[in-house]
Amino acid sequence: MYKHLLVPVDESELSVANVGEAVKLARSFAVPARVTFFHATADYGASVEGSRARAQMRDRRPPLFTEGTTMRVPELTPSEYSERVIGSSRALLAKACAAAAAAGVGYDTHSVISDQPAEAIVQAGRDCGCDLIVMASHGSTGLRALLSPSVAAKVMRQAGMPVLVTRSEGTDTQVEASRAIALIQDEHRSLAAAIYGMRRRLSQAIDGSAGLDREFFGRLVSYLQNFPERRHHVKEEESLHRLLREHGDQGRDVMHQLEAQHLEEYRLADALHTAWLACGEGAVGADPGLAALQQAVEALAAHVWQHMALEEESLLPLAKQVLDRADWREVAETFEGHRDPGFGEWSDEDFRSYFTRVANEAQLPQAPLVR
């Protein structure tokens, strides 16, 4: 029986799936194992990967009305690179923590700056006192090379402890479905991470350790109010649900229930917004506004957990049986933003950037970033 799992994470779909497998494994033991999620950030100056990542993370968004013009997009400066990449690292870890918290599994995080990902994973396993490394394996470049086949092979040779490879791109017979489902689960974890951050801030205000930071809390409220209604649920209904209905009546009752839950979630998010508006800056202790805000948060949280469980445990397994490869490619493209359903003013990238910002302030456990 293993007691402490190290789970490397990156921004790939395989990593999202691996986090889920690791959490299930940790929970399966008679005494659930603890999980430490690990991320290595490419060194800006010391590695080819860091230079490549910096080039890939240029701000590509053009100004309005540039049609017919040629525009040079500058690379990020070292400070801009650090802010964005380290911020993205924290967001990745926050989402992984949310998956563990939702399953009742103990968790922590560890992150380093390193140009040697395999060695960094092995060292993290030792430093954190882990007895099993759980990772995926895929081929890619840039920051995604963290979990490449050569890295996985190196880790297995050097670890000095058991290594479990849960997923490999080359052996997945339903790679299109796996990719689409991972994208959906990743968005679920973004929502969960925002809720856990909100709960943590509320807990601090109620126990008197810190007054309510109303501005920060409002950013979390805005994310939870806007992202599901404008993007996430719209994409589910316009792609996954539509395609399933085109294949017949299977899942009809579940989809009807999920879509009713979407409407209830919008109502609960509006109630949360109202409670936030009524709560004063710096509210602390037994403030009635805090009590009402806590009630609104818990009502939304309970609803979201129920909704996610129904979708992930009932609808997605059914969809894997019914949808074909072309269907899953369409679902994945929709969730990646390539097929924008056309609702709302914010793009998927806007919401991802906004989530990164709020996740960095959500106070989920974050180990110091070390070199």
- Residue 80: CA count within 13 A, CB half-sphere: 11
Check: CB of residue 252 under 8 Å from CB of residue 322.
no
Which CATH architecture describes the domain 4-168?
Answer: 3-Layer(aba) Sandwich (3.40)
pLDDT for 39: 92
> Tokens 């899942």 belong to which residue?
251
Pick the CATH number of 175-370 from 1.20.120.520, 3.40.50.2300, 1.10.150.20, 2.30.140.10: 1.20.120.520
pLDDT for 83: 54
Q: Distance between CA atoms of 279 and 114, rounded to whole angstroms?
A: 44
Report DSSP letters for 239-272, one per residue.
Answer: IIIHHHHHT-STTHHHHHHHHHHHHHHHHHHHHH
Q: Distance between CA atoms of 174 and 172, rounded to whole angstroms?
A: 6
Which regions of the chain are under pLDDT 50?
47-51, 53-74, 140-145, 340-344, 365-371
Q: Distance between CA atoms of 262 and 238, rounded to whole angstroms?
A: 13
pLDDT for 44: 57
Domain positions in the chain: 4-168, 175-370
Task: Show the tokens assigned to 225.
Answer: 């109010």
For residue 284, the tally of other CB atoms under 10 A from its CB is: 16
Check: CB of residue 36 under 8 Å from CB of residue 109.
yes
Strand order in the sheet with 132-137: 163-168, 132-137, 4-8, 34-41, 107-113, 369-370
- Residues 286-298: pLDDT tens digits? 999 999 999 999 9
- Residues 303-336: pLDDT tens digits? 998 999 899 989 999 999 999 999 999 999 999 8
Q: Which amino acid is at 20?
A: G
SS3 content of the chain, % helix, strand, coil (to 5): 60, 10, 30
Q: Distance between CA atoms of 158 and 123, rounded to whole angstroms?
A: 10
Task: Show the tokens assigned to 266.
Answer: 């919008």
pLDDT for 144: 47
Check: CB of residue 306 under 8 Å from CB of residue 264.
no
Q: Is 214 exposed, middle or buried (0-12, 13-18, 19+ CB in 10 A)?
A: middle
The Cα-based distances of 72 to 194, 232, 286 in angstroms read 36, 33, 56
Same fold, 4-168 and 175-370: no
- Residues 203-232: pLDDT tens digits? 999 999 999 999 889 988 998 998 888 889
pLDDT for 367: 43
